[in-house]
Structure 1
Amino acid sequence: MKKYHILYIMLLAMTITGLSSCSENSNTVEEYPNWKATNESKFNSIYAEAVKYVASGSDSWKVIKEWSYQDSIHNNPEDYIVAQVITKGSGTISPIYSDSVRVHYEGRLLPSTSYSEGYVFNKSWSTDEYNPSTNVPTKLAVSNVVDGFSTALQNMHIGDRWRVYIPYQLGYGSAGTTGIPGYSTLVFDITLVSYYHVNVTVPDFKAKSTGNTNTWIDK
């Protein structure tokens, strides 16, 4: 009996040692290390550079205060979005908060451990590459997206394509959402295709414009 007792103790010790070894040798990799500090630092850097470009007279960058902030209190970097103009459209009027829009977009995070170009958490096209001639734009309500995205839309013109940097305060905040950790700077590639006021029927995308911004006829 004593012999079996000793054997049991030896096996138990080996099991504990093995578990300890597995724990010590675990190769668990953190996907988003120092995420809050990384995102704050990166956005502040982008903001500072954009401010310099704007001050120099460049029209390739825009620094835009969150759409509902009309006071002098909100003047910190996180109260703004930063937009890099990729393509300048021919439109002259922007959507308003109550409008609906058709856009092409892709949203990604800043680079992380497994994603050197940033994790793509959502996009409107199903192909690997963006192709405006074949990709169908999605319909969105300006009021139904995060504040930073809404701010961008309300300053874009039809045909504009912007790369928009949104601080986490104007995105999903410190809590995050499914697939997006808290404190995430959001980077969107947005092309504004069209927009429609309230009570205007949004036509099928294959519709053809009559010339009036918000009046369309079917092909």
Structure 2
Amino acid sequence: MKNALLMVLAFVVFSSCSNDKKSESISVDTPEQNEADIVAYIAANDLDAIRSESGLYYVIDELGEGTQPNASSDVTVAYKGYFLDGSVFDQSDASGLTFPLSGVIAGWTEGIAYFKEGGSGMLLIPAQLGYGTSGRGSIPGGSVLLFDINLIEVK
């Protein structure tokens, strides 16, 4: 009887923990919550951000003067990727990385195209334009992603 009671108690505790994680993940993943979190971040950091129709926010510090990329361009970008709490999840060196805009997350494909060569600024990317509900590697599902970017070259 004592063992059965312990098993039931363990099941209840485990189930409630699992449900808490599940509901926490769902609330973080909603587009409305991502939007509210981005708007709060913009206000707290006094950013002059523009919202696109897709829900991407971007800040242009320097537009640049060179070629402006499109979704099929190859680009070289120096960047730092971080979460709303400031913790960095990825970063290039100053020489940047070269990649096709058609092969990256939707927030980058759209956002990098707002700059010209030599331009710099920030992308504030909601989960639906990043890694969605699945996440990737060290990036949890539902995460808002922030990127400081410097568009070095359009090829």
- For residue 158 of structure 1, report the CA deviation from its aligned partner: 1.5
Q: Secondary structure at the residue paired with 1:46? A: helix
**8 Å CA contact retained: 2:67, 2:154:** no
Does the alignment pair 1:62 with 2:50?
yes
TM-score by length of 2: 0.71
Q: Which residue of 1 aligns with 2:109?
A: 150
Q: Which residue of 2 aligns with 1:95?
A: 69
Identify which of 28, 36, 44 aligns with 1:44: 36
Identify which of 29, 33, 58 aligns with 1:83: 58
**8 Å CA contact retained: 2:28, 2:142:** no
Q: CA, structure 1 residues 194+177, in 2 after alignment: closer, same or farther (shift >3 Å)?
A: same
Q: Secondary structure at the residue paired with 1:104? A: strand
Q: CA RMSD in A?
A: 3.1
- For residue 176 of structure 1, report the CA deviation from its aligned partner: 0.7
TM-score by length of 1: 0.52
Aligned length, in residue pairs: 133
Percent identical? 27
Q: Secondary structure at the residue paired with 1:80? A: coil
Q: Which residue of 2 aligns with 1:137?
A: 96
Mark the runs of 5 or more structure 2 residues left unpaired by the alignment: 1-9, 11-22, 43-47
More helix, by proportion: 2
**8 Å CA contact retained: 2:81, 2:147:** yes
Mark the runs of 5 or more structure 1 residues left unpaired by the alignment: 1-19, 21-32, 51-59, 66-78, 112-116, 126-134, 197-219
Q: CA, structure 1 residues 89+159, in 2 after alignment: closer, same or farther (shift >3 Å)?
A: farther
